């Protein structure tokens, strides 16, 4: 018996991720990120209760360029997970499973989350 060469499938160099798969993975990842971000929120609340000196330290950390980047990512994860959750609620009604609709809703979730994040940060800086 001769050994038959079988292709390795799926191979990362030739396999293209469908947008629906990427949004599914991102939904799970943002859920984990939101859990970690909730620890930041708890830290900020505990700092507010601990007194003005520790609160100023936490504000300094969160107000640094890295802290703002983390908060920006947390804001995006919040909006992304919310919009993706709404999409899942629509799916629970039995609608939106055709490939064109699923692809369109995936792109709407991605674009909507970016748009809502930018709007939220613009409004936050406008009120500041």
CA 64 to chain centroid: 21
Specify burial of residue 34 (Cβ count, 10 A radius: 0-12, 13-18, 19+). Answer: middle
**Lowest-pLDDT range of 5-14, 29-38, 59-68, 109-118:** 5-14
CA distances from 10 to 20, 24, 71, 103, 126 (A): 17, 18, 36, 21, 48
* pLDDT tens track for 36-90: 999 999 999 999 999 999 999 999 999 999 999 999 999 999 999 999 999 999 9
In the structure encoding, which two tokens stand for residue 28, read together? 């799970």
pLDDT band at 128 (very low <50, low <70, confident <90, very high): confident
Domains defined along the chain, listed by start:
19-127 (1.20.1300.10)
Tell me what the mean pLDDT of segment 6-26 comes to.
Answer: 79
d(CA 116, CA 111): 9
């Amino acid at each position: 018996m001769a050994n038959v060469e079988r292709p390795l499938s799926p191979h990362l160099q030739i396999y293209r991720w469908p947008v629906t798969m990427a949004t599914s993975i991102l939904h799970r990842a943002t859920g984990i990120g939101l859990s970690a971000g909730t620890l930041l929120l708890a830290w900020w609340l505990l700092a507010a209760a601990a007194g003005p000196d520790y609160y100023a330290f936490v504000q300094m950390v969160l107000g640094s360029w890295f802290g703002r980047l983390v908060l920006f990512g947390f804001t995006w994860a919040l909006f992304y997970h919310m919009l993706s959750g709404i999409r899942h609620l629509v799916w629970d009604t039995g609608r939106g499973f055709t490939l064109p609709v699923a692809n369109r809703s995936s792109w709407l979730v991605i674009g909507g989350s970016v748009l809502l994040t930018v709007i939220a940060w613009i409004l936050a800086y406008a009120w500041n």
